[in-house]
């Protein structure tokens, strides 16, 4: 069982841009780990953690960013709800991986960390 209190304390120490960067990294990991059938539990854990990351950053984000994060959180919840079926179907799993990669790119863009 993860210690969500300590994870939250560590995650919320950083500013919103860095937290969004952390969320983007998690989403990228979902993509990466989804390419190996043996990583089902790892990816499921990343889904759960990402939902918490959104919960902990959205209230402090700009309204437009928060709205997109809520849409992402809903998507993650849908995937999580049907996780066993999604994982068992390689085509659907790869679709999830691609969507996670797309979200990762979008969240990283929203973070502003790439701006010079």
Domain boundaries, given as residue ranges, for the chain: 15-111
pLDDT at 94: 98
Side-chain half-sphere exposure of 36, counting CA atoms within 13 A: 9
pLDDT at 116: 65
For residue 1, what pLDDT band results from cuts at 50, 70 and 90? confident
**CATH (residue range 15-111):** 1.20.120
H or E stretch covering 85: helix 83-88
Question: What are the pLDDT digits (tens) for 31-86?
Answer: 999 999 999 999 999 999 999 999 999 999 999 999 999 999 999 999 999 999 99
Nearest to 16 by CA among 60, 65, 70, 68: 60
């Amino acid at each position: 069982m993860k210690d969500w209190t300590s994870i939250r304390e560590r995650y919320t120490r950083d500013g919103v841009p860095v937290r969004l960067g952390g969320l983007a990294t998690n989403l990228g990991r979902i993509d990466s780990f989804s390419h190996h059938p043996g990583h089902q539990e790892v990816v499921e854990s990343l889904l759960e953690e990402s939902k918490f990351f959104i919960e902990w950053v959205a209230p402090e984000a700009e309204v437009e960013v928060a709205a997109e994060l809520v849409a992402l959180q809903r998507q993650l919840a849908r995937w999580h709800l049907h996780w066993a079926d999604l994982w068992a179907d390689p085509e659907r799993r790869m679709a999830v991986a691609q969507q996670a990669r797309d979200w990762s790119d979008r969240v990283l863009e929203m973070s502003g960390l790439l701006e010079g």
